[in-house]
Structure 1
Amino acid sequence: MSTGTDLISLIASRQNLDDYQKKHWSGTMAEYLEIVRRDPAVTRTAYQRLYDMIMSKGTEEIVVNKEKLVRYRFFEDPDNGGEDAIFGLERTMTSLVNVLKSAAHGYGTERRVLLLHGPVGSSKSTLARLLKKGLERYSRTDEGRLFSFAWREAGPDGEELLTDCPMHEDPLHLIPHEDRAEVIRVLSEGAPAHPYEMTIEGDLCPFCRQMFNERMARYGGEWSRVVEDVQVRRLILSEQDRVGIGTFQPKDEKNQDATELTGDINYRKIAEYGTESDPRAFNFDGEFNIANRGIIEFIEVLKLDVAFLYDLLGASQEHKIKPKKFAQTDIDEVIIGHTNEPEYKKLQSNEFMEALRDRTVKIDVPYVTRLADEVRIYEKDYNDRKVRGKRLAPHTLEVAAMWAILTRLEEPKNAGLTLMQKLKLYNGKTLPGFTEDNIKELREEAEREGMLGISPRYVQDKISNALVAHPNERSINPFMVLNELEAGLKHHSLINSDETRKHYRHLLSLVKEEYEDIVKNEVQRAIAADEDALTRLCGNYIDNVKAYTQREKVKNKYTGQTEEPDERLMRSIEEKIDIPESRKDDFRREIMNYIGALALDGKKFDYRTNERLQKALELKLFQDQKDTIKLTSLVSSVVDKDTQEKIDIVKARLIRSYGYDEDSATDVLNYVASIFARGDVKRGSH
């Protein structure tokens, strides 16, 4: 058997024919009404369906700087492996979901254009794409299903032809207005609980109205015979098939007219039907027509010609569109547009646009201002699966993200706080003298934060450049990326002043300093990661602290003599974590109280449970040991065997505990050694 036949058999065996039949169900009007009685959710409006789709993925409550936020799992793109996941914009997502919820319940926002507003690259398009793709998938599920219908007609040879409703309407539109209230009453009796009130809103589109009226005339007004000519079918929304999902993009004004939104005359069929005003000689295939029952996205909506805006206003406020030569036609769709800052400012200053301003709900989509979230954005694109054959050294994405965040933050009004410290506070780090309440104040005083700065797109481009520009390097390090970021500033089209460029360069130097501190700290900790030596040093420190707080003497293990507590030892450790002389007594008492509380619970003290003390012990041990390792000899060409063994141990620790590989561990040791060689070791760990 050939490989081709094998593959065809393999694909055939993987197909689920029952599922296919379910998704392509067709039946009579009577069968559809029975489905509605059992499951009223099939008649939901576009807003109701979109809101339920988001909620179907669930939520979780998170706390950021004492503020409780809701995270909607839908925006993590779980069905697509997180390909379009949006990170760190919980407030934006909550605003959006609240608007959709209000629209779903008919509180007014269903008559508005949703306007996503933010700087370039802030994920506005990603958000719109998520909603469109999500709606496609949701319509394929049992809980997201919806239905439309087709007309049965006799073909030239007597065969049956089916002509779909061009606007994918709900079959309930076929029910005459005077009978709708009674039909709803009957359908609602004994129907399962449903969060929305069932209604039948809107009339048949011009095409279906013509087909309906023709049949009413043919059957002498017998409605039941008219609906026998109707086949109800399951509707699967699909942007590619132009069913329920539309996208409109402004082009050159000369080449674009309103028919792209509301449909156009089919000149070939005029000869057949004799008049332009026969709906059968019209293509109801504009973006508004085909997006009915779903969602339409307007890309750069404020660049639209004024003629289009009138269509947009009618579609949002009245839920109607006006195809050429036909009466106003009902639509049911979510209208979502996006725009950037300069275009929105133009809208605000243009008095002709007042009607549009009044009919939009603006939802700000800022850049991320939390470092951890920005790193996740880059990790999505630069992971082992996608960066084949190359490794990103530890902190490479972190420093790029750090710089991006710094460009978006506003200088703190508090003179005692640096921009870098503000970044760390936002990222959940605690700093002396600042509480989580201060962080809320910092956010409130910086209203424009996240609406300016460098986009993730620019950073992603420069990381890609670094990967390509070093073909012979197996490992890409932070300096390669920082150099690319700096080199690109000269030609960055969105930086319009030398002052801004200068500021961004200054921020790069801050990031380099911070990176220097990070790797120095890691190497110091790797050198000092001798568990036995740390345990001995800790025991020695605790013995002295205990004696000091209880005003006792310490027994010298070597001489057997009792001595005063070793103040020099205690201070040399405490200074490493910036405990001032005036606070030493408080700190020592805290440690003893902590040990005492553990003892009462029958637990033994372990220095690793106290992060500050662990850091202090490691730095002290490093200071005591660094001369024995002679790290600076790394920058010389000759290294003796003893030193090399010690260096190999440190390298192994960097690989095991900090995510380095052989190349990047060697690079970082050489780099830190060069810092020591120039005598640039700052005290403490910053």
Structure 2
Amino acid sequence: MSNIDRAMVHLNRKISERETNHSISFDEFLENLATRPSLVVRNAFQAFHDMVREYVSVERDEYPNDPESIKYVKYDCSRLFVNGTDRPFFADRLFANRFIQHVDAMRSSARQNKIYIFEGPPGSGKSTFLNNLLLKFEEYSNSDAGMRYEVVWKLDSRGLEQSRHDMPDLSGNHNGNRERGPELLEIPCPSHDNPLLLIPREDRHSFFDELFQNDEFKQKLFSSKEYEWLFRDIPCTICSSLFDSLVQRLPSSLDVYRMINARPYRFNRRLGEGVTIFNPGDKTLRMNVLGNDHLQNRLDALLGDASPVRYLHSSHAKTNNGVYALMDVKAYNAERLMELHNIISEGIHKVEDVEENVSSLFIALMNPEDAKSIVDFQSFTDRIEFIHMPYVMDLNTEVEIYRNTFGRHIDDSFLPRVLHNFARAIISTRMGTNSPALLEWIYEPERYGQYCDHNLQLLKMEIYTGHIPSWITEEDRKRLSAKRRRRIIDESEREGVTGFSGRDSLRIFGDFFTAYARSNKLISMSNLVTFFTKWRTDLNEALPEGLLDSLIRNYNYSVLQEVKESLYYFNEDQISHDLLNYMFAVNFEIGSVVVCRFTNDRLEITEDFLRSIEARLMGTTVEDDVRLAFRRETQKEYASRTLTQEILVEGKAPQQTGLFRSLHDSYVHNLKGKVMEPFLDNANFRRAIKDYDTVAFNMYDKRIRDDVSFLINNLCAPRFHYTKQGAREMCVYVIDNDLARRYPS
């Protein structure tokens, strides 16, 4: 074979694999149904749910063992909205959780007679979101994993003509004078009906009872609401009238089913098959009645002119069991939305004097100001499911948008945390300055003045990313119940409609990056503050009062913790030993002598013994009543959950329990608070940091060289992502600003 022949054979194989569209008999379809029921028995809503769940994965839940968890998890939506798209859409954590909740609800039949309107301000990415979503739905529906079957009739003209030979010709013509056509007449169902709908509705229960084994799927089929459509829906008027006509003409219903085939439902947005989307400027059709004269003539020739089969349908049939979408509800799309009222409510559309079934997933995009076009129709608004789609509120997603637009190399120009602090400044303009949910949780915001703003916006941003800051006290951490956390997340439904839009933020970031990016110096917090307060004072007016000062305080605290952690030497075995002894000892009275079941140590339970470990857990200045309350709470947690549930029932090692991890965090936190004390007044330590990675560094004492090298190497490790230059600059910043004394442990 020549190179051309090989290339063409390869191309033919690839296209054949991708575009196969052969039909199978009804018997073969039932064989597929019996072996893969959950894939074959799917309507548009179930397929859409499966598509989203196929492309979206759960990346992490930061607090999986938290009894107060609200399952606010990090979803990886890149395969759905980013990969393989012309314009990526970045779903932040808030929107991803909101979207997945609605998608899961779509799977049940109770949520299917609705239109889903994604409402958000201009510049929130609605159009990009919908285009990418429909692109992936089309891709998935044409794949093996997403394939669904539709009806295609293959009428045996010889058998039908023989059946008509003995029937009176009501038209007055002689049957034998009609022109004989091909032996098989192929008639596709224009509404893309699932072949199972051609089983009479009253017979479906007994049919499936015979077909399926008594397994999990059969139980779900007969009891779950998501499969109610299979027992409720009827085939389109064309298929049902054709079925009825054939039953009357053929000896047995088996002869009818031999003429029913199934083929893959092929989606093609450009042709409006399975997926169609209308822009506001797309004019409505004057005649929304479609037919096929040639096919109608052939049907009349086979079945007789008096046949009730009329091959008429509307454009809605092309997206039945697919997606019908409106890009912005305005102009002509506002008219289309109102025309959908009866279709969505009843699932029926009138085509001349024929009723047409419509069971599509209806999606629309809307700006908040356009909602007035539907507020006067209460019966319609009951059929609308609004999904809030604001500007990005998750700072990690905002940063990812900058990286996608300007290139991932931008990280190399910033000191760690500065890029994210720029995102915090932008997002603050999109948030409310009053949060009843946060104020109900944090009674006195001023207690956190060293780490947070007085409006608690920085705290809310952290919670929106799924993170609870380490500077929250243990008492407040325990008061963060699931109900309180849910109320905080729910406030995002009213945010993100004002402030800097997505387009604004990209333009502002471009100005900032251009102004300060240099090859020999990293962009710092002072650059960020200067940009907003001196370079672009107009932008500073849009920021909440005091936000920049709070960002600096939060930044100072955060980098100090990084430096402390990077300096920290610890003996993990000794810490673990102390904590296991303490967990065991708090269960016994003072004066007892016991052997710890975890360490085999012989323990004398004295006040001094318990107090010595509690000092490392809580510090030496804690009042006795607070310390004793902590001891009682530890004992209660150990007895009610740690021992009885996690160790005895779940088989966890004591070091894997939630109580141990909590005690470990407190122990380490208090040790780290003192780690910088030896270096606070040591001028040689500061100079050695500046001279690190130079010849002059070798002139310092070995202990200082070891400490500085240990510090810099830890800051450059993957956990903190500093470069050597950035680590040196940050350490000098911490020392020169005396942050260790300004932020005592």
Q: CA offset at residue 96 of structure 1?
A: 1.0
Q: For residue 487 of structure 1, report the CA deviation from its aligned partner.
A: 9.2
1:84-118 deviation per Cα after TM superposition (whole angstroms, max 9, x unaligned) = 66524575246414532442xxx3x3222223344
Following the alignment from structure 2 to structure 1, what is the Cα–Cα distance between the partners of residues 462 and 250? 77
Counterparts of 2:279 and 2:260 in 1: how far apart (Å)? 35
Deviation at 1:471, TM superposition (A): 7.1
- The alignment partner of 1:477 has SS state of coil
**Which is worse superposed, 640-649 or 395-404?**
640-649
Q: Please name the residue that 2:603 is paired with.
A: none
d(CA) in 2 for partners of 1:405, 1:314 = 41
Q: Do residues 32 (structure 1) and 29 (structure 2) align?
A: yes
CA-to-partner distance for each residue in 1:261-297, whole Å, 9 max, x for gaps?
Answer: x566999999999xxxx9999885x4x3332112223
Query: Within 5 A, what are the aligned runs for 1:526-675?
Result: 526=566, 528=567, 581=621, 583=623, 610-626=667-683, 628-630=685-687, 642=699, 651-656=712-717, 658-668=720-730, 675=736
Cα–Cα, structure 1 residues 531 and 279, in superposed 2: closer, same or farther, change >3 Å? same
1:382 aligns with 2:403: yes
Alignment: residue pair count: 603
SS of residue matched to 2:231: coil
**Residue number in structure 1 paired with 2:277:** 247
Aligned to 2:594: none
Could you state the TM-score of these two structures normalised by the residue count of structure 2? Answer: 0.62
State the match for 1:312 in structure 2. 340
| Corresponding residue SS for 2:673 | helix
Task: Answer whether contact 1:313 1:356 (CA < 8 A) is retained.
Answer: yes
Which residue does 2:551 correspond to in 1?
Answer: 511
2:327 paired residue number: 299
Q: Contact 2:328–2:366 (CA<8 Å) still a contact in 1?
A: yes
**Does 2:153 match 1:137?**
no
Question: Partner amino acid for 2:487?
Answer: E
Offset, 1:328? 3.5
SS of residue matched to 1:503: coil
* 2:648 counterpart residue number: none
- Counterpart-to-counterpart distance in 2, 1:488 and 1:611: 41
1:201 maps to a residue whose letter is D
Gaps of 5+ in 2: 158-178, 300-307, 446-453, 575-614, 639-652, 656-662
Residue 452 of structure 1 corresponds to 495
8 Å CA contact 1:393, 1:660 repeated in 2 = yes
Query: Structure 1 pair 321/507, CA: closer, same or farther in 2 (3 Å)?
Result: farther
Cα offset, 1:234, TM superposition: 1.7
Distance apart, 1:434 and its partner CA: 1.5
1:599-641 Cα deviation digits (max 9, x unpaired): xx999xx99983322321223233143554348978xxx9897
Instruction: Write the letter of the residue equivalent to 2:275.
Output: I
What SS does the aligned partner of 1:328 have?
A: strand
Higher mean alpha-carbon deviation, 431-440 vs 156-165, is at 156-165
Q: State the SS of the aligned residue for 1:658.
A: coil
Which of 272, 284, 287 lines up with 1:257 in the alignment?
284
**Distance in 1 separating the partners of 2:190 and 2:532:** 54
Q: Where does residue 69 of structure 1 map in the other structure?
A: 70
Contact 2:516 2:527 in 1 (8 A): no
Report what 1:235 is aligned to.
265
Match among 143, 150, 160 for residue 147 of structure 1: 150
Q: Secondary structure at the match of 1:92?
A: helix
Conserved in 2, the CA contact under 8 Å of 1:132 and 1:295?
no
Cα distance between partner residues in 1 of 2:434 and 2:555: 21
Pick one of 159, 167, 189 that aligns with 2:210: 189
Which residue of structure 2 lines up, in the alignment, with residue 361 of structure 1? 385
Corresponding position of 1:558: none
Q: Following the alignment from structure 2 to structure 1, what is the Cα–Cα distance between the partners of residues 532 and 294?
A: 59
Give the aligned CA root-mean-square deviation in angstroms: 6.0
1:100 aligned partner? 106
Looking at structure 1, the residues matched to 271 and 548 of structure 2 have their Cα atoms a distance apart, in angstroms, of 47
> Separation in 2 of the partners of 1:474 and 1:185?
77
| Aligned match of 1:336 | 363
Q: 1:16 to 1:131 in 2, by over 3 A?
A: closer
Gapped runs of 5+ residues in structure 1? 492-497, 536-573
Partners in 2 of 1:424 and 1:174 — Cα distance?
A: 54
Aligned partner of 2:743 in structure 1 is 684
User: What TM-score, normalized by structure 1, do the two folds share?
Assistant: 0.66
Q: From the superposition, tell whether residues 383 and 642 of structure 1 become closer, same or farther in structure 2 (CA, over 3 Å).
A: farther
Q: Secondary structure at the match of 1:435?
A: helix
Deviations 1:28-51 (A, max 9, x none): 345435545665553433234334
CA distance in 1, matches of 2:545, 2:698: 43
What residue in structure 2 maps to residue 400 of structure 1? 422
Q: Which residue of 1 aligns with 2:233?
A: 201
The SS at the match of 1:617 is coil
Structure 1 contact 219–226 (Cα < 8 Å) conserved = no
CA distance in 2, matches of 1:511, 1:280: 70
Question: Higher mean Cα deviation, 158-167 or 231-240?
Answer: 158-167
* Structure 2 CA distance for partners of 1:305 and 1:502, relative to 1, 3 Å: closer
- Report the equivalent of 1:113: 115
Q: What's the secondary structure of 1:69's corresponding residue?
A: coil
C-alpha distance in structure 1 between counterparts of 2:135 and 2:270, whole Å: 11
Matches of 2:144 and 2:125, distance apart in 1: 27
1:382 is paired with a residue whose SS is helix
Q: Distance in 1 between matches of 2:664 and 2:75?
A: 42
